[in-house]
Every structure is written in C-alpha cells, then in structure tokens.
Structure 1
Amino acid sequence: MQKTILFTRDGDIARLVLNKPERHNSLGKQELLAIQGFLKRMSGADTPRVLVISAAAGKTFCAGAALDELNSGEISADLFQQTTDQIAELQIPTIAVINGNAFGGGVELALSCDYRIGVRGAYIKVPAAEIGLCYPVSGIQRFVQRLGVSAAKRLLMAAEKLHSDEMLSLGFLDYLVEPDQIDQQAERLAQKLASLAPLSVQGMKSIIQAEAAAKLDVDSARQLYQSCLDSADLQEGFAAQREKRRANFCGA
C-alpha cells in the first residue's frame, strides 16, 4: 500500500512529503492524522532544527482537504485546521516547498510555514466563495496575519487566481525560482537555518508570531531574550567570530 505521507530525518533537518499526486496531494483523514502524529513526535531533546514540507512531483503541491471525505463527514474542517495550527505553532522554522499549484486548504498549509519557495508558472486559488463555503475562522485569521487584509480579501472573498509573480509581490512567496531550481533553493535555506543558533531562531520566531497575532506578552518575550544572553551558544558565537570559523551551536 502506498504511503501517502512520507517522513524522513537527516541530521537537524526533518522532511515531510505529501505523496498522493494522483489525487493532487489532497489530505484526508489518513494523511491529516499521520501529519499530526509526526509533528507530536518532534519534541524534546531530539527535536530537529528545521522542518521542510514538500510534495511528490506533479502539477499540484496540495489541493487542501479531500472533498469526498469532507462531503461524507469522514473529516471536518476542524481536523484540517488542527493540523495547520499544529504546523504554525511549531517552535522550529518551517519551509514549504511549493513545486506546483495550490488550492483551498493547500494555500493555508503553505501559509502555516515560516518560509515559502515557489516555482515560476504556478498559481494559487481558494475557491470557497465559488461553492458557498465560508473559510474556517482560524484559517481566515492566518491569511490576514500573513498576507494582510487586502490580499486576504482577494484570495478569500473574490476567489482570485494569483500567478507566481503576483504571489511573490504580495508576500505569499519568499522565493520564486525556476522548477529545476526549487530543490536546491530549499536545501540551501534548510541548511542555513539549521546552522544558526536554535535558541535565537526559535525565540525570535515566537516573538514575531505573537506580535503578528497581537498576543505578545512582553515579560515572556524578555525571558526568551534573556535566555539567549545567558546561553552557551552566544559564547560559542562570539568565539567563532573571534577565531574566524563557523560556529557550532548546541541549542543550550
């Protein structure tokens, strides 16, 4: 039986691959629960430093929730939202490698990640208004927080199709590359993030996301700041600068 979600780990970099190209990498109950289970295991001392989410080769990165399972009641929008929330709330940086078109919840899946790399010629569309759905509330919040009100209205209320250049200009994409360059760009970014001080990266991610959601607790943010000041990694970073070598951070 084909595994529709693949997980691998190479040192500090974990990878999650959507592997159902014949169904446009749509996510049903099996896939959503598999993703949730994998993410729950990424905790503790052996947590990777970066998660890369990509899709099997094909025209579509992700078509969102499996519509047949939504219509039958086998899955709910809540299950999909729980999954994207879990991705967005990870402490480590996440990269979406968008190697094709994205639709509906697939667009939100990409928005749940910290960085998005896309290919020239692809497009995104959220057709909820065309079929009479109101997109789930937490999902709408994510669109607004990540893209702003105007872009969220274009994607959700007007169900606009946005092509790759516009995806870049609106801030949906951080990097836009030719199709044969996307794997190399993703690897470069993943390796770069994995080489940085984990406490620093994770602390700043937490503060940025809390500020974007207007939920910043200044005292908690200052504790994160102080933990970096008190860390062995900061001393390692200073030593590496003095000795003109690459720092070897341990995350403590």
Structure 2
Amino acid sequence: MSKSIHSNGAVGSEDDPSLSISGGIATISFNRPSKKNCLRVSDIKILRDMLSKINESGAVQAVILRSHGDVFCSGFDIGSLINLSESSNPTDDFGFASLCDEIENLAPITVAVMHAPVLGGGVDIGLSCDFRIGTEAVYAQVPAARLGISYYGSGLARYVSRTGLDAAKKLFLLGERMDFDLLKLNGYLTHQCASDDLQSVVDRVCDQVQSNSLMALRTMKTFLNAAAHAKLNIDDANRAFSASIRSDEVAVSTARFLRMR
C-alpha cells in the first residue's frame, strides 16, 4: 500500500485526509473517493490534529475543505457502527460530533468546496464551514432515521440555525433528498456556480477573505457563531467593537481608505 506523510510527520496511507498550506490558505482534502469519501475512526484523529495545527498557525487566513470523486463526503464510516454497538463505553462516539464542532469554531474562515453530493455526516461537515460553494451536481441527504440513529445535538442545532426548523425536519425526519435548487433557497449553499466556474469562485472568496483584517474576521466570526446558537454576549461584542475602533490597525486602514476615496 502507498504511504503518505501527515502534517505532523506521521506516516499514513494514501487515502488518509491530507493538509497543505500555501500563501495563507490551508487545504484539507478527503482522499477516499472509492468509499464516497467516508471518514474512519483514524481519519477523525488525523483531521482534529490538522485543525489544531491550523489554529496554532497565526498565518492561515482561510481553510478550504474539498475532495474528488462522486461524493463530496459521506460522513462517518457506517461500518464502524457495528463495532460501536459492542463498545462498553456509553460515551464512545469516535469524536465525529466534536470534529464538526471544531471545524465550526476554527479561527480562520472555512470554505467547503462541493462538486458532488453530500451525504450523512458530510452534510454537517459542510454546514460547520463558514461558506459552502456548490455546483449543480450537489444534493444533500441524511439517512440517519432509516438507520435508527438519533443525530447528535450540535449537528441538529447547526442545521436549524442555518436553514430553519422545517427544512431540518424534512432532512432528518423524512430523509428527503434536497436538490441543488432547494439547497440554494434554504441557505445551505452560500455560493452556487457551474462546475467549470467552481475554482474561480473559490479563488474569489479566498481573495475577499485575504483582503480583510485577520483579527476583525476572527473576532466577528466568533460572535456570529455565538449568535447563531443564541449565545451571543452583546457586552463582549460591544467591547470588542470599542477596542477595534481604537486600534492602530484601524487608524492606518482608515487613513489609507480616505486617501483612496
């Protein structure tokens, strides 16, 4: 079997998730197209290590999640659920929910690049990102109820906060397939494009991110995510605003803006 080197220097198989960082942009790739880019137990550990590495680097401004193959991501490998049913640890869930939470709370701006359908837990991986760019080939479907799975709490909360309760009920309770047009309407896809234009839209979004203040982006992202979960502390947000308008960065940026007007 071919081997690859992880971001932490460990040796893994070629279908493990991979991380590359260039010019302030980190790219995480799912590399298991023959298995619909499902994530195994070992992948979750690899991905969480990658997220830690990205957070520790103050230079990363945007993170792209992408894949190749017929499915963007199908979430957790359901074959592993057989082993889970035999586990004596009632809290053993392999960390998939925590992975999605960590993607949502990652300091840099995150962009899911969807060229193909997104299934199961892959729907929440996409939803955990700040932006989801999709082509006409994208649809979403979650078979959790059919499998007897009660979806984890943070994933349910994310979907309700982003797309609304009725859309969430159709997806989770009925297992309905949500096609491209519906994903546009309910806000799951924040950007839509033709397949040939996908990379140019990704580049444009990343350029927009990199043209903005890193500190302002990270601060506002934190408060916006808190607001989505009804946890926004208005006083904290106002204090951050007050501090920002008195910062040297704003003084320099404002002077530059006025000169260019």
TM-score between both structures, scaled by the size of structure 2? 0.88
Aligned to 2:75: 64
CA distance in 1, matches of 2:71, 2:246: 45
Correspondences of 1:12-23 after superposition (within 5 Å): 12-23=24-35
Q: Secondary structure at the match of 1:17?
A: strand
Return the offset for 1:231.
2.2
* Change beyond 3 A, Cα 1:7–1:144: same
Can you list the C-alpha shifts for 1:10-47, whole angstroms capped at 9, x where unaligned? Answer: 12211111111111110111211111001112234624
Q: Do structure 1's residue 24 and structure 2's residue 36 form an aligned pair?
A: yes
**Match for 1:87 among 103, 115, 130?**
103
Letter in 2 for 1:36: R
CA distance in 2, matches of 1:216, 1:110: 23
Return the offset for 1:144.
1.0
Q: Aligned residues, how many? A: 244
**Unaligned ranges ≥5, structure 1:** 246-252
Letter in 2 for 1:159: G
Aligned to 1:249: none
Runs of 4+ residues deviating >4 angstroms: none
Compare 227-236 and 85-94 and name the one that shifted more. Answer: 227-236
Return the offset for 1:243.
2.9
**Unaligned ranges ≥5, structure 2:** 4-13
Return the offset for 1:240.
2.1
Letter in 2 for 1:5: P
Q: Do structure 1's residue 51 and structure 2's residue 59 form an aligned pair?
A: no
Compare 90-99 and 100-109 and name the one that shifted more. Answer: 90-99
Letter in 2 for 1:63: S
Q: Secondary structure at the match of 2:95?
A: helix
**Match for 2:197 among 181, 187, 197?**
181
Contact 1:70-1:77 at 8 Å conserved across structures = no
CA distance in 2, matches of 1:231, 1:63: 44
Q: Secondary structure at the match of 1:65?
A: coil
Aligned to 2:136: 120
Aligned to 2:6: none
**Match for 1:220 among 236, 241, 245?**
236
Return the offset for 1:129.
1.2
* Change beyond 3 A, Cα 1:44–1:38: closer
CA distance in 1, matches of 2:244, 2:172: 39
Return the offset for 1:214.
0.9
* Change beyond 3 A, Cα 1:46–1:204: closer
RMSD over aligned Cα, in angstroms?
1.8
User: % of aligned pairs identical?
Assistant: 27
Letter in 2 for 1:28: R
Return the offset for 1:136.
1.1
Compare 88-97 and 39-48 and name the one that shifted more. Answer: 39-48
CA distance in 2, matches of 1:65, 1:162: 20
TM-score between both structures, scaled by the size of structure 1? 0.91
CA distance in 1, matches of 2:76, 2:130: 21
Contact 1:77-1:136 at 8 Å conserved across structures = no
Letter in 1 for 2:111: I
Can you list the C-alpha shifts for 1:25-73, whole angstroms capped at 9, x where unaligned? Answer: 1011121111100111223462411111111x21100011011122222
Can you list the C-alpha shifts for 1:171-198, whole angstroms capped at 9, x where unaligned? Answer: 0001111112112111110121012011
Contact 1:199-1:228 at 8 Å conserved across structures = no
* Change beyond 3 A, Cα 1:119–1:45: closer
Can you list the C-alpha shifts for 1:114-162, whole angstroms capped at 9, x where unaligned? Answer: 1000111321100111222111122111111111111111111111101
